[in-house]
Every structure is written in C-alpha cells, then in structure tokens.
Amino acid sequence: MHTSKFILSALGLVGAIAIGSPSPAEAKETLTFATYVSEVYSTSQADIWFMDEIEKRSKGEITFERYFSGSLLKAPDLFPGLSRGAVDIVAGVPSAYNRNDYPLSNVTLPFITEKSDAVTKAFGELYETNADLRNEYEGRNAKLIYTRGYAENTIWSRVPITKASDYKGLKIRAVLAIADVVEALGATTVAVPFPEAVEGMGRGVVDAMTAAPFDSAIKGGLSEVGKFGSDGGRMGVYAANMLAINLDRWKSLSPKDQKLITDVAAEAAARFDKMHAEEVKKAAEKLCATVAKSDLKINLFTDEAAAEVREIAFKPITDAWIKWAGESANVDAKQVLDDYISLIRKYEPESTYKTGFEVYKEECGS
C-alpha cells in the first residue's frame, strides 16, 4: 500500500518536471549585444526597451548579455565582430566606421531631409525592398533588424558661420559626407573622434566642429566650448544607427523566436522616434539655458544662404558618392539613391519631427 503510494507520487513528480521543463525546441537562447553608445542616449534606450520586451514576451526563453559604451567592442570593431560571430547583435554606424564595407549605407546624404523619423522609416523599408542594400549586409553575415535616423547636422565654431563664404579657410572637424560638404565650401577638414574634437576646439586646435547631430552636440558639450552655433546651411540628417544580428545566429533561431524579434523591432523603431523627439526637446531646452547665461550666439542660415550652400555642395557630393559607391559595391548606386529619396518623400508628409533649432526657437522665443 505504502509502496504503491510512493510509486504514484514519484510518477507524479516526474510528470510535473516533464511538463514544467522546456523541450529542446524551447531551449533558452542567450544573445550577446554590443554597442559603443552609452545607455543615456535615445538609441540605447530604444535598444534597452527592445531587449527587455523580448525577454518579457518570451517569458525568459530569450535573454541578452548587454555591453554598452564600447565595453566589449569599440565602434570600428562592431560590424566586423558581428560578421565573424564574436557577438550576436550590434548597434552602430557602419557607414561611418566601416565605410568601405558598407558603401550603400552612406546613402543618407546631406541635404535630402531634415526629418529624422522619415530616415528611420525610409532606410528600414529600403533594406527590405532593395536587394543591393540587403546584400551589402547579408554578404557580410549580417541582417538588419531596425534603423534609427540621427538628428540633423549642426556646426559649432569659434567664429560666426552664417553663409557659404564663411567656411573658406577654416579648419573644421568633420566626417562622412559632411566632410565633403565643408571641403566643397572651401574648408580644410580634420577627422578626429568626437571627444577629442570637443577638447580641441576649446583649445583652438580647430576653428569649428560639425558632423554633429543636434542632440549629441548639446550632450557632448559643443554648446559650452563653442562661441557660435549654427545649422550650417541646413545640411539635414546625414547618418543612421543600425541594429543588426549575425545572419548565421538569426538562422539558428526558431521561426517563433524570429517572429517575436521582428515584431518587437517594428515597435522599437517607432518608440525610438518618440524618445528621440523628447531628447531633442531636452537638448533645445538646455541650449536655451546655456545661451541665457553665456556669450554663446546662435546664427541660423537664412533661406537664401542655405540655398547657396546646397547649390555649391549638393551635386558634387552626390555625384561623387554615386561614382564611389557604385564602383565599391559594383551596383547601380544612383538607383539606390533614387529609391531612398523616393521613400523619404513618402514618409516626410507624416513626419512629426521638429529640428533642434526649430524647437530651440519655440522654447527660447528667439
């Protein structure tokens, strides 16, 4: 009698364990995430939400090891590390740090748009619809999960810059296509990392610093070391941050896990746009306070002055990019650019994004 009860109890315990344990198909997945960006920025805040939400919705069956601020891989090493499987997921800017490997990702050229949220949507759709861009990632064992458009470009200087001729003869920190723009305007460019450039401008090593999205510029202290701030001629959004997964790792996931990641990614991109707008607003408010208590002057380009900058620089840098990207990727780069611009125009009408200086004028009344 006692023996029968013991056997039944043991069988019940085994059954409970079997029911409560994940099957091999439900085994836990741990994904390693790395970025050079600090947790305080909206790109990272969106990524944190993305990972938290996946862990929650998967009931812990997918978890993340998280490395921010370059603690695992530095900015230039993120996408090469992703390709070789040193990390599962990265968030970074391959167009800046791995330019020759990702030439088509540089399609976010200046003067195309000032709408950050339009870039988020347009580049994401371009990846899904343009085989050449998709092959740029998949050919390097990477799959794009979602995109985040940065804020529009700004310039901070030791001398006033209000028109195209003011660039001539200046030594300016600039990278990517923004460097091509200021060179076309007669400046000499210096390519140094952001933190070094902030310190360098404070010491007079450079006359100005650009290739600086509005919110990053304020957070990075440019409004505190520069004597003058400007939109530089309304160069617009020139870069985007990409969150990508190792393609082999992606293929190893179950269809259920892939769908979950894809669904949450769509929400994360939209959430970023909202977070980013709030970050830009806070940066504008901080700029108001800085101007009120310092000698910093904000000089925005008039419509005529901005048109002159575009007239001088846009066609040369566009033609140069089409030639370089086309030869580098062995594709029709003009078609990629045309597709991107078409998607930007598709999403601009529904954009709710205001540039940092637009918000600044509203907040400061100037």
Q: What is the pLDDT of residue 202?
A: 79
Closest CA to 162 of 332, 12, 298: 298
| Domain parsing of the chain, residue ranges | 28-149+239-278, 153-238+283-364
Q: What is the pLDDT of residue 18?
A: 42
Q: What is the pLDDT of residue 366?
A: 60
pLDDT, greater one: 87 or 366: 87
Of 25-29, 199-203, 259-263, the range with the lowest mean pLDDT is: 25-29
Closest CA to 147 of 356, 344, 354, 349: 344
Mean pLDDT, the chain, whole residue set: 91
Q: Which CATH architecture has domain 28-149+239-278?
A: 3-Layer(aba) Sandwich (3.40)
Mean pLDDT of 233-239: 97
Q: How confident is the model at residue 27 (pLDDT cuts 50, 70, 90)?
A: low
Residue 232: pLDDT above 90?
A: yes
Residue 308: pLDDT above 90?
A: yes
Domains 28-149+239-278 and 153-238+283-364 alike in fold: yes
Element (H, E) at 35: strand 29-35
Angle between helical axes of 333-347 and 116-129 (0-180°, round to 10): 130
Report residue 92 as tokens.
């970074």
Mean pLDDT of 121-150: 98
pLDDT tens per residue, range 68-101: 999 999 999 999 999 999 999 999 999 999 999 9
Q: What is the pLDDT of residue 205?
A: 87
The rounded percent of the chain whose pLDDT value lies above 70 is 92
| 221 burial via Cβ count (<10 Å: 0-12, 13-18, 19+) | middle
- Given CATH 3.30.429.10, say whether it is the number of domain 153-238+283-364: no
